[in-house]
Amino acid sequence: MSIFPVTGAKEKALKERLASLGIREKDIEESFIRSGGPGGQKVNKTATCVYLKHLPTGIEVKCSRARTQALNRYHARATLADKVEAQIKGRQSEEARRIAKIRRQKKKRSKRAKEKMLAEKKRISEKKRLRARPAIENRD
């Protein structure tokens, strides 16, 4: 039986990711608190927000993304894995992401992409032209 209300594949992938980063369940301090924000009385009465603290690194995560506590537990662990991975890889991965983004922005569009974009622009232009008032002809 699964711990989180997600598919078995997602849960297995998360567990493998946590294991590859060296995050063990016994190293995580977990507590539940009341969520804030929209939700009214339900949010004020139930403790659906999940607070995780990874003891070896001191990284803290607070998650109240979903309505259920179980799903928030899953999301909190995924966020914790992201933060630990970012700490391990450090500036290197952040720099690589920035360079890749610039490279994508500067990359020239393919011929097919240009044609598709221009065809869409022409279609929208025609639609807007048809919305215009008809021209008044000179009647002499």
Same domain for 13 and 82, yes or no, is yes
- The full DSSP string for the chain is --SSSS-HHHHHHHHHHHHHHT--GGGEEEEEE---SSSTHHHHHS--EEEEEETTTTEEEEE--SSSHHHHHHHHHHHHHHHHHHHHHTHHHHHHHHHHHHHHHHSPPPHHHHHHHHHHHHHHHHHHHHHSPPPPPP--
**Which residue range forms the structural domain that includes residue 122?**
102-130
The mean of the pLDDT values for the chain is 87
**Chain segment 76-127, per-residue pLDDT in tens:** 999 999 888 888 877 667 778 888 999 998 999 899 999 999 999 999 999 9
What are the pLDDT digits (tens) for 23-75? 999 999 999 998 877 777 777 788 889 999 999 989 999 999 888 889 999 99
Model pTM?
0.62
- Contact between 62 and 49 under an 8 Å Cβ cutoff? The reply is yes
The CATH number of the domain holding residue 20 is 3.30.160.20
Question: How many domains does the chain divide into?
Answer: 2
Query: By C-alpha distance, which of 72, 77, 82, 75 is closest to 27?
Result: 77
* 110 in the same domain as 62: no
